[in-house]
Chains A and B, each alone.
Chain A
Amino acid sequence: MSGLFAHLAPLHLDWGEIGAAGLDTLVMLAGSLVATVIVGLPLGVILFLTGRGRLLAQPAAHAVLSMVVNGLRSVPFIILLILMIPLTVLLVGTSLGVAGAIPPLVVGAAPFFARLVESALREVDPGVVEAAQAMGATNRQIVFEALLPEAMPGIAAAVTVTAVALVSYTAMAGVVGAGGLGDLAIRFGYQRFQTDVMIVTVALLLIIVQALQMLGDRVVAYVSHR
């Protein structure tokens, strides 16, 4: 009565599988979030600096970059997952599983995160940049000693929003066999009418999102001295 039938029993949840799926979700989330910040933060800084009237104003470069970012953001994630397959194979050697999900997650989230970083930098008082210039700061010093520290509350909030968005993206990663809680909810909860699995997975996702938001809010409060 175990194995196949255990999954069908309506009130007998396979906690082992749910646990594994939860772990998959967390691994995807952590891996893609770190990579998104590594790619998206410099991208956001460049978007900001090349903007009109900014430190390294480059209208043409800014326009091109801005178009690429908008283009990537306009592709629905489920389609990006499939379009990315050749590139994903090139990057991580497989288009399947948790590893295969991370590159499309990053490509989907990094442009979004970069925009959030750009707008966090725009919130920084231009007077602070001017003061740094008047002190004889180099452009690099202005970015690392003035702009980024001043934008830190905004950037921490941007990481939080991005992490929450990534949780919902991971639910679609089942398309490439990445597993995770969202995948479990679709395959068992929806396709096999196991309402209890649906409820449990959604509840777990909710807990993850809540926890991320609370953690993010605490970090924002910690780095904010306004």
Chain B
Amino acid sequence: MPPPQIQLIDVHKTYASGSGDVAAIRGLDLSVAAGEIFGVIGESGAGKSTLIRLINLLERPTAGRVLIDAEDATGLSPADLRGLRRRIGMIFQHFNLLSSRTVEQNVALPLKLEGRLSRADIQARVASLLQRVGLADQARRYPAQLSGGQKQRVGIARALACNPKVLLCDEATSALDPQTTHQVLDLLAELNRELGLTIVLITHEMEVVRQICHRVAILDRGRIVEQGEVIEVFLHPVHEVTRRLLAERGEDADEAALAFAPGARVFRLTYHGAAVQAPLLGRIARETGVDYAILSGRVSRIGEQPYGQLTLSFLGGDVDAALAGFAAAGVGVQELGR
């Protein structure tokens, strides 16, 4: 297995403030493989923006190591660090474009700073980048003349200018409306697929993680409290913070379901993959004599994966046999309210 592209090892970040030190990141380990889209989600104040800035060393860790391609970035000379940063693109919540420069000048800036390409080569590269993000016709405009979604596309083109292997997204869609968010996320997923770009994004929106991330880590008060494949974490959240974040977007309807069926045994069935298409419920009900009522449910997708989640109350029949039947079919079963 190749070494992870990004690896944080026991990283701490403490800020000195007037009233004593404030620990933003407290002993955090993280590893991101090349070519994956890794999401970090947390509530505000969890340390997300510090965490993403530790990766390109806009924030220096107080302790611990930051490895990029197995190389310790914390020990680099200022010149080498600048070289490293050219290999890591970054986009921002408020885009951080230069208002004094046109779209094409903004995208050209990293290339100009790098000073490697001729003016003609820079022009050609900028044109192809703007094509890539769908803004070829906006090259001569100023950022103030663009919509939020267009500004973020300029930000993406600028971040990609030096052909980075990694893209850091700092709440990149939080200032955008849902439809624009969707389009920008589609673009990021496309760049990930077509360029093999490794993407690390931080967000407070579960929806963003659900749409494009492969793996997710949940950050709470400077520590990662849970991480894994997005579908696993979404369908089987363990930590209280994860459940809370899921509940915010109505993923967690348990409380309401329990209220519908006082006294009955209520179960939540969670399944994905092949189980989504199988006619399980009816078969198991017939075989075990169990009758059921559907209290709540959804069938949807996480990334490319379909999944289903049903909350049922069981009445009569052999409940234990039914539960065993579900387990055998690969359905996660959790009894609620006990």
Q: Max chain A CB contacts within 10 Å: which of B56, B90, B94, B96?
A: B96
CA distance A141 to B101 in the complex (A): 15
Q: Does A136 contact B (CB under 8 A)?
A: yes
When the two chains form their complex, are residues A136 and B86 in contact, meaning their CB atoms are under 8 A apart?
yes
Q: Which residues of A contact B113 (CB under 8 A)?
A: 132, 135-138, 141, 145
Q: Which residues of B contact A141 (CB under 8 A)?
A: 113
Nearest Cβ on chain A to B119's Cβ, whole angstroms: 15
Q: Contacts A150-B98, A223-B100, A225-B142 hold; do A131 and B114 have CB atoms under 8 A apart?
A: no
Q: Does B325 contact A (CB under 8 A)?
A: no
Q: How many residues of A sit at the interface, in one of the four size bands?
A: 20 to 34
Q: Which residues of B contact A125 (CB under 8 A)?
A: 94, 96
When the two chains form their complex, are residues B112 and A226 in contact, meaning their CB atoms are under 8 A apart?
no
CA distance A136 to B82 in the complex (A): 4
When the two chains form their complex, are residues A145 and B56 in contact, meaning their CB atoms are under 8 A apart?
no
Nearest Cβ on chain B to A137's Cβ, whole angstroms: 5
CA distance A132 to B109 in the complex (A): 9
When the two chains form their complex, are residues A152 and B96 in contact, meaning their CB atoms are under 8 A apart?
no
Residue of B nearest to A134 (CB): B90
When the two chains form their complex, are residues B110 and A136 in contact, meaning their CB atoms are under 8 A apart?
yes
Q: Which residues of B contact A225 (CB under 8 A)?
A: 99-100, 142-144
Nearest Cβ on chain A to B265's Cβ, whole angstroms: 54
Closest 10 CB pairs of A and B: A127-B96, A136-B82, A136-B85, A131-B96, A225-B142, A134-B90, A149-B100, A135-B110, A136-B86, A137-B113
Q: Report which A residues bind B (CB closer than 8 A).
A: 125, 127-128, 130-138, 141, 145-146, 149-150, 152, 223, 225-226
- 18 A-B pairs besides A127-B95, A136-B83, A145-B113 with CB distance below 8 A are A127-B92, A127-B96, A128-B98, A130-B58, A130-B92, A130-B96, A132-B109, A134-B58, A134-B88, A135-B86, A135-B110, A135-B162, A137-B113, A138-B82, A152-B100, A225-B100, A225-B143, A226-B144
